Amino acid sequence: MLKLVLRRLVQMVLIMAVSSLLLFAIFDTPEFKKRLAVQELGGFAVSALTEDSYQDWLAARGLDVPFYQRYANWVGNILTGDFGFSFEKNRPVAPLLADRLANTGILAFFVFALMIPISLVLGVLAGMKEGSLQDRSISFISVFTTSIPEIASAILLTIVFALGLGWLPVKSAMIGGFDFRELVLPVLTLVIYDFGYVARMTRASMAEVMTSQYIRTAILKGIPYRRVVMKHALRNALIAPFTLIVLQLNWLLSGVVVVEVFFEYDGFGKLLLEAALFPDVEVVQACTLVAVAVAVVSQIISDIGYTFLNPRIRFA
């Protein structure tokens, strides 16, 4: 167990190191720097950008130091909590990112709070009796909902609940402070896209457990069906979905971009996109690094959780 945790931690550090190096190198190529220089010196500097003014710009931005030195500097700064400075927003990246991540955290909390019960209940109901009408209709619903991309379901929900019925606000910019009603549409959009996948995996896991021999024995012993499902089957059937739900965090970070942009919710995804379009390199790097860190950590938690929950591996 300890060995596994250590191995995964080493792997995590390696992955973080390589991805940070990649991330730093990709925005450090001469072409990209030139593009950035042209943009920052103004539109009409395109023709005016001489070799001299480019070198001046590099020196002003501290980009004339060798690559490895700047990379080491950058990593050192990040490890001490300094994520650089946002040229677009004109403030340090660290507090900005913390703000936005907190907003996305609120969104993610409600998404998980809704998605987990819905998908688990539906998956268990479908997997309980494989091939029944109940199973088929739930499977069809989950295929259907996962087929509607977030952008489309965001539109449909907005049209029905915000534009048509007028129950909910169209945008979720939270201008007048935190408003719970503005959170409903983004959360629903993400849940609708996401729950089907988890439900299908839960169903597969449940269906597998229900055909196993110990369940047959339990049924033949005359234990009531409800009790067989609740006490015997569920515990084993929920191991696989658990790891999957933790991995959904990684997925949510990509889903959140389009939803936050569509509803103008001030979160992590919107920050990343705005920075990318500007382009505000240090913000993009910081956001991506945080996203990778979240993804890697959730991967480790899901791996360790899986071994911990599965007695066959835990005691081996």
Taking the CB of residue 29, how many other CB atoms lie within 10 A of it? 10
* Cβ 223 to another protein shortest distance, Å: 30
How far is residue 83's CA from residue 79's CA, in Å, rounded to a whole number?
A: 9
Contact region with another protein (CB under 8 A), list: 20-28, 99-107, 126-134, 211-219: 20-28
**Contacts for 213 with CB less than 8 Å, ≥ 6 apart:** none
Task: Give the residue, chosen from 46, 60, 98, 163, that forms a contact with another protein under the rule CB under 8 A.
Answer: 163
How far is residue 156's CA from residue 80's CA, in Å, rounded to a whole number?
A: 44
Q: Note whether 30 binds another protein by CB under 8 A.
A: no
Of 57 and 193, the one with the shorter C-beta distance to another protein is: 193
Q: Note whether 251 binds another protein by CB under 8 A.
A: yes
Q: Which two tokens stand for residue 91?
A: 């403030």
Of 25 and 230, the one with the shorter C-beta distance to another protein is: 25
Q: Note whether 253 binds another protein by CB under 8 A.
A: yes
* Cβ 148 to another protein shortest distance, Å: 5
Q: Note whether 11 binds another protein by CB under 8 A.
A: yes
Q: Note whether 258 binds another protein by CB under 8 A.
A: yes
Candidates 300, 312, 315; CA nearest to 11 is 300
Q: Note whether 191 binds another protein by CB under 8 A.
A: no
C-alpha dihedral sign at 110, 243, 300, 5: positive
Q: Note whether 26 binds another protein by CB under 8 A.
A: yes
Of 169 and 241, the one with the shorter C-beta distance to another protein is: 169
How far is residue 270's CA from residue 100's CA, in Å, rounded to a whole number?
A: 9
Question: Binding string, 120-159, against another protein, x = CB under 8 A?
Answer: -----------------------xx-xxxxxxx--xx-xx
C-alpha dihedral sign at 189, 194, 196, 198: negative
Of 241 and 269, the one with the shorter C-beta distance to another protein is: 269
Candidates 70, 101, 58, 25; CA nearest to 253 is 101
DSSP state of 212: S
Q: Note whether 245 binds another protein by CB under 8 A.
A: no
Taking the CB of residue 195, how many other CB atoms lie within 10 A of it? 25
How far is residue 302's CA from residue 201's CA, in Å, rounded to a whole number?
A: 15
Candidates 196, 272, 284, 276; CA nearest to 241 is 196
Q: Note whether 46 binds another protein by CB under 8 A.
A: no
Site for another protein in 284-303 (CB under 8 A): 284, 287-288, 291-292, 295-296, 299
How far is residue 194's CA from residue 58's CA, in Å, rounded to a whole number?
A: 45
Residues of this chain that bind another protein (CB under 8 A): 11, 14-15, 18-19, 22-23, 26-27, 32, 143-144, 146-152, 155-156, 158-159, 163-164, 170, 250-251, 253-255, 257-258, 261-262, 269, 272-273, 276-277, 279, 284, 287-288, 291-292, 295-296, 299
